[in-house]
Amino acid sequence: MRRQRRTKILATLGPASTSRDQIAALFAAGADVFRINMSHTPHDKLREFVETIRSIEQEQQRPIGILADLQGPKLRVGTFKDGPVTLANGSSFVLDSDKKPGDVSRVHLPHPEILAALEPGHRLILDDGKVTLQAVKCTPTRAECRVVVGGKLSDRKGVSLPDTDLPVSALTDKDRSDLDAALNAGVDWIAVSFVQRPEDVAEVKKVARGRAAVMAKIEKPQAVARLAEIMDIADALMVARGDLGVEMPMAKVPGIQKQITRQARRTGKPVVVATQMLESMITAPVPTRAEVSDVATAVFEGADAIMLSAESAAGQYPVEAVSMMNRIAEEVEADPTYRAVIQGQRAEPEATGADAIALAARDIAETLDLSAIVCWTMSGSTALRVARERPKPITIALTPKIATARRLALLWGVHCVVTQDARDLDDMVSRACRFAFQDGFAKPGQRIIVVAGVPLGTPGATNMLRIAFVGAETVDD
């Protein structure tokens, strides 16, 4: 199965997509990677999802990526004695360590780390932005606040702190348990929530030890401020726009999305744009025009992947949502302005041999109008460098490691094939031509370019390229 687009699609699994037939239908509709939200998935269901996806992978003979999304810390207020309260603008409200049920003047905050870190002037955003407080006077056990944006507040509503750097790990005890379960189940990507600093990502990578790649979710102002440091250590990034829109002014989120996608392109790290992309399709068979434009913008920006959350996990039209996202991406990539926009975003290559080879492969392939760029890769780094250049021809990644192929399923413009490692250079070129033909990317008489590392099988040693003809004798082997 070959896709007609370069941008990849992540589909979240959930109550609307639990059966094998439903998951197979999502894959057929265009899903390249499946996201398992550990906030709602017990470990036995996680293993069931992974087994189902692997059986579909075997049936379709196409590598499929699996991403486990860790929940992260959930900060919430306590409970209220007589039910919900309504806070008036300008009134005083206290958050404290007293476990008694709250009222209109105060409530328990069961997170001493927040009370210890709060400073006067810091904002507290409650219930996804419906109520905003500003700290006036702070002690380790009590924060007196002024109500900036009033409204109804009820039991266990969430707390966001856009101005406060919390001295807490991004991994809770639940996350550590979920991480172990996901790694043991054999997922390909781990998404880390509540990232504030590069150490949060490093902590997960230390546990993963290469068994899965690690994606940092950028959903907090603290992460945006330290984006370059986080990007250095993460294997990929997710623009988690829902939480960003709560903790930062919504008008800033589109600009931040562009900053993250551009910076990820410069560093060659995959980037996923997520949250509310086709939100109305949770209950409607078609999206709004604004949602179509939103998806199209992410594709024009050159994002590696675009993601569906509740649309495919709990919506009434999960397959239709994937099909719609697939169709939007195909239309954008066929638009006459698409290549010009993508080319205008290209960054200068780093001063490395691998980057120089990747740049040369792109230039040669586009100048000579070659049919495909075929990368032999062990670790996936060769395909990453070529994908960073956003070449016009398809990139075919040939690898002997199924784990590498599954991770590369997230990557822009990369078609992955699992095959035995090449015996020598002639075998490398011959099989590159054969796979380009078999998967429908090249015809006899057309040319491809082969990129690899010599000696063969040496991870990260991208140092060779070769132009090859797809001949009748090659495809008949």
Residue ranges of domains in the chain, CATH in brackets = 8-72+169-344 (3.20.20.60), 85-160 (2.40.33.10), 353-475 (3.40.1380.20)
Structure confidence by residue, pLDDT tens digits, 354-363: 889 999 999 9
Mean pLDDT within 290-310 = 97
Closest CA to 415 of 394, 430, 434: 394
Helix (H, G, I), strand (E, B) or coil at 35: strand
Mean pLDDT within 334-359 = 88
Residue 458: band (very low, low, confident or very high) from pLDDT cuts 50, 70, 90: low
Mean pLDDT within 308-323 = 97
> In the prediction, which pLDDT does 454 show?
75
pTM here is: 0.94
Residue spans of alpha helices (H) in 30-129: 43-60, 112-117
Q: Does 13 have pLDDT greater than 70?
A: yes
> In the prediction, which pLDDT does 282 show?
97
Closest CA to 308 of 281, 328, 290, 269: 281
Select which of 5, 6, 8, 35 is catalytic. 35
Residue position matching structure tokens 């070659």: 370
Structure confidence by residue, pLDDT tens digits, 127-176: 989 999 999 999 999 999 999 999 999 999 999 999 999 988 889 999 99
Structure confidence by residue, pLDDT tens digits, 220-276: 999 999 999 999 999 999 999 989 999 888 999 999 999 999 999 888 899 999 999
What letter represents residue 477's amino acid? D
Q: Does 473 have pLDDT greater than 90?
A: no
Structure confidence by residue, pLDDT tens digits, 201-227: 999 999 999 999 999 999 999 999 999
Cα–Cα distance, 22 to 37 (Å, whole number)? 17
Q: Does 464 have pLDDT greater than 90?
A: no
> In the prediction, which pLDDT does 337 show?
96
Residue 474: band (very low, low, confident or very high) from pLDDT cuts 50, 70, 90: low
Higher pLDDT, 461 or 420: 420
Cα–Cα distance, 309 to 314 (Å, whole number)? 8
Mean pLDDT within 276-297 = 97
Contact 123, 134 (CB under 8 A): yes
Select which of 106, 157, 217, 431 is catalytic. 217
> In the prediction, which pLDDT does 456 show?
67
Q: Does 477 have pLDDT greater than 60?
A: no
Mean pLDDT within 310-333 = 98
| Size of the chain in residues | 477
Residue spans of alpha helices (H) in 317-411: 318-334, 338-344, 353-367, 381-388, 402-408
**What whole-number percentage of the chain has pLDDT above 90?**
86
> In the prediction, which pLDDT does 168 show?
87
Q: Does 370 have pLDDT greater than 80?
A: yes
Mean pLDDT within 75-103 = 96
Cα–Cα distance, 114 to 237 (Å, whole number)? 26
Structure confidence by residue, pLDDT tens digits, 43-88: 999 999 999 999 999 999 999 999 999 999 999 999 999 999 999 9
Q: Is 217 a catalytic residue?
A: yes
Select which of 76, 142, 205, 258 is catalytic. 76
Determine how many CB atoms are found less than 10 A away from the CB of residue 82.
9
Q: Does 121 have pLDDT greater than 90?
A: yes
> In the prediction, which pLDDT does 115 show?
96
Residue 476: band (very low, low, confident or very high) from pLDDT cuts 50, 70, 90: low
Residue 459: band (very low, low, confident or very high) from pLDDT cuts 50, 70, 90: low
Contact 393, 367 (CB under 8 A): no
Across the chain, mean pLDDT equals 94
> In the prediction, which pLDDT does 457 show?
63
> In the prediction, which pLDDT does 79 show?
96
Q: Is 35 a catalytic residue?
A: yes
Higher pLDDT, 2 or 341: 341
Q: Is 266 a catalytic residue?
A: no
Select which of 7, 12, 41, 275 is catalytic. 275
**What whole-number percentage of the chain has pLDDT above 70?**
97
Contact 11, 322 (CB under 8 A): yes
